[in-house]
Amino acid sequence: MTKPSVAPFALWGPMRITTWNVNSIKQRVGHLLGFLEEARPDVVCLQELKCQDAAFPRAEIEAAGYAVETLGQKAYNGVALLVRAPLTSTQLLRGLPGDAEDEQARYIEALVHGEGIAPVRVASIYLPNGNPAPGPKYAYKLAFMKRLRLHARAMMASEDALVLAGDYNVIPEPVDAADPDAWTQDALFLPETRQAFRALLAEGFTEALRACDPSPGLYTFWDYQAGCWPRNQGIRIDHLLLSPQAADRLVSASVQRHLRGLEKPSDHVPVTVELSDG
DNA sequence: ATGGTAGAAGGTCTA
């Protein structure tokens, strides 16, 4: 018998990192398991779990080969990180630093390790929607974006590859909406929102999907209402931001749009990047 | 002028 040319648990090909706002994990666990099987992502960042940690369908996802870390909340918000064995994670951080009073479950982060692969720090982010604007919800959104920028700056200092993935609730440019005029008064597209997103990018991040695909019509969210999906009235609000060390390893970025066409879909679809092993 | 839909909750609120 010949010795295998690679170690039995070596990663085959690039590391895949997916972000997906599932809009209730309990409603979407079937779709998630199907996606894990078909796409075999190495790390998955989930948002809008809409349940507490005890109610998270942990067993099914662990049975699919993933370690599960959650920051849940009753009814609203909730984020998780799934890490496929034999990858492991350390330095888990639940909650975005910078406001001890903030009780909303919108941020979880960990350092992901694997044999023969450079570590990657990954965050799953559910940035506030912020509507109606102006108002307290919009102020919270802008404050959250500032906290994220300051935390990102601190993380940059480590020089680990860093991937900030999630539902940003930000339409970065007019090309990222099928009908940008419909969004001019919306917290997802107000000038101050877009400016705060640019300020985050200016810390040194590459927005992976746009870097890989400059074409228009690239959306990640279609509202359930008013036939937005059949009319393709989408927006692009789910993003993966890569630090320079992660961007150096960027192989591809893509949207798994077909999942919006399933029965009982989330209103968001997954976005996936592939990073070389370093 | 407003609704249209979905989810958690079983109070309407959030999106």
Mean pLDDT score, A138-163: 97
Dist. CA A82–CA A231, nearest whole Å: 33
Residue ranges near strand B (C-beta within 7 Å): A 23-24, 26-27, 50-51, 74-76, 128-129, 131, 137, 169, 223-226, 264
On whether residue A144 sits in a domain, the answer given is yes
Which CATH number does the domain housing residue A251 bear?
3.60.10.10
What is the tens place of the pLDDT at every residue in A29-84?
A: 999 999 999 999 999 999 999 999 999 999 999 999 999 999 999 999 999 999 99
CA nearest to A209, candidates A260, A250, A159, A268: A250
Structural domain count of chain A: 1
Q: Is the pTM of this model over 0.85?
A: yes
- From the CA of A189 to the C1' of B13: give the distance in Å: 22
On whether residue A52 sits in a domain, the answer given is yes
Which pair of structure tokens corresponds to residue A19? Answer: 């972000």
What is the tens place of the pLDDT at every residue in A13-22?
A: 899 999 999 9
Chain B: positions less than 7 Å from a protein CB are: 3-9, 11, 14-15
**SS3 state of residue A114:** strand
On whether residue A263 sits in a domain, the answer given is yes
- From the CA of A93 to the C1' of B15: give the distance in Å: 26
Using alpha carbons only, how large is chain A's radius of gyration in Å?
A: 18
On whether residue A3 sits in a domain, the answer given is no
Domain hosting residue A93, numbered range: 15-275
On whether residue A242 sits in a domain, the answer given is yes
On whether residue A1 sits in a domain, the answer given is no
